[in-house]
Structure formats: C-alpha cells, structure tokens
Amino acid sequence: MTPVTDDDPGQHGRTHRLELADQTLREWDATVLASDAEGVVLDRSAFYPGGGGQPPDHGVLLWGGVQTRIVGVRKGDDLWLVPEPGDPLPPPGTAVRGAVEDERRTALMRTHSGLHLLSGVVFRDFGALVTGGNMQPGEARMDFNLPEVPPGFRDAVETAINAEVQADRRIDVRVLPRDEAFALPDIIRTATNLVPPEVKDVRIIDIVGLDQQADGGTHVASTRQVGRIEVVKIESKGKGFRRLRIRIAD
C-alpha cells in the first residue's frame, strides 16, 4: 500500500535490492560491506526490508561453515540485516550465501497480493477507498472508508474476491516514470498524495483488469497463486471506518 520512496527503487544505500526485480529469488551470493551486533550490510540482498504493511523477511547468511540467522531488517542510510543475538557475524569483505526463508516470504506474498485483490474488489463493487492495512503471513486486515455496510456485505466480498482468485488474473510489476504512473486513473485515488515529489520512478503492481497501485512490496505472479481467501470479520471502528480481516485459507 505504501509506495517506494527511494529515487532508485532497486537501490537502498549501498545495497542493491534484488527482490524488487525478481520476487521469486530465494538464494544469492553477496559480499559483506559492514557488520556489527546491530546488523549486517550486504552489497546485494533479496531480504524484503518491510514497508507498505508487509513485514521484513527472515532467513540466513551462510559463510565459513556457519550461519547467521536474520530476524529483521532496519532501514537507515543503509539496509541493516538484523542478526539473531549471539549468532556469529561475518566480518566486512566476507563472501556469503544469502537465503530468504521461503515459507514465510511466500505466505507474505500471497497475503499481500490478496490484500490488493480485496481493495480492488471493494472499490469496484462498493466504491470504498482504503485508509490503511497490515499483514502477517497468512492473515491481514484492511481498513476502508465505507459509511454504510450493505446487507450481505461479508458474503458478497468473499464471493467476489474468490471469483477473482479463480479468474487467475496476471499480477504484473512495472516501474514507470512519475508522470506516466500518475496518468493511470486508478493510481491517483490511492497514491498521489503519498509519493514524495522527489521520487522520479514509481513501481506499480498491476492486477491486470482489476487494480493498479504504487507499491514496493513482493507479490505472487497471478491471483490464483493467492489461494482461497476467507473474510473472517468486519469491524466498525467509528464513523465510516470499517476494518476487514482476511485469512488465506490453504
């Protein structure tokens, strides 16, 4: 839901972000540029650092016959991969094999794409705009501005989103120049006010025919890969403020 805010969405400080161009990448070679108990900086990393409601990846760095478990990412001038306390730390200059924990990341990709699908359907069928969202692997919430909850809303939403899963729509990633991105009518409703003026390129997640959003997260390649989605709960949090909780069912 939150757009990329770097000038070059493929670069954060000294780290080239591999996961933005290849969301299927789980293992790669890298060199350590800096390390201490607070974190490790790599020249190349596929660890999603968190943002837009999607939490950071977990995984390992393998080197010299040992492993450094990575349990989070801290975003500063550089991307600092946060090690499990007490694990050995690779000194600067070390060649490492990085690996993202696949089960967690894949669940987060399915969940994140499921949220975009939900926001696309609720806007198309009920005209409601997203005001916030958050996710964990396999479950998520999304907030909408919806003054009235129509009768049968939960079932209608659940049926419609699972029809879009079955329709197996492609989910494309594109990076567009700012002007071109904001010429897309769907983008304006969600992102114009969120993208700082200095950002020149905007990464777009396009559920083809349903929803386009400026977004820095990782997504599956088609809606069928999300799997069946349950609308677990609808909460009223105040005037026009509805919170939908979803779960990926399989």
Site residues for Zn ion, 144-203, by CB under 5 A, read none
Compute the distance between CA of residue 28 and CA of residue 40 in angstroms, rounded to an integer.
16
| Three-state secondary structure call for residue 87 | coil
Are 6 and 68 in contact, with CB atoms under 8 Å apart?
no
The least CB distance from residue 231 to Zn ion, in Å, is: 18
If the CB atoms of residues 48 and 63 are measured against Zn ion, the closer one turns out to be: 48
If the CB atoms of residues 1 and 191 are measured against Zn ion, the closer one turns out to be: 1
Q: Is 49 in the site for Zn ion (CB under 5 A)?
A: no
If the CB atoms of residues 34 and 50 are measured against Zn ion, the closer one turns out to be: 50
If the CB atoms of residues 56 and 90 are measured against Zn ion, the closer one turns out to be: 56
Q: Is 9 in the site for Zn ion (CB under 5 A)?
A: no
Site residues for Zn ion, 202-231, by CB under 5 A, read 215, 217
Q: Is 152 left (phi over 0), alpha (psi -120 to 50) or beta?
A: left
| Three-state secondary structure call for residue 116 | helix
Buried b / exposed e over 87-97, threshold 16 CB at 10 Å, is: bebbeeebebe
The least CB distance from residue 212 to Zn ion, in Å, is: 11
If the CB atoms of residues 109 and 231 are measured against Zn ion, the closer one turns out to be: 109
| Three-state secondary structure call for residue 40 | strand
For Zn ion, the binding residues (CB under 5 A) are 1, 52, 215, 217
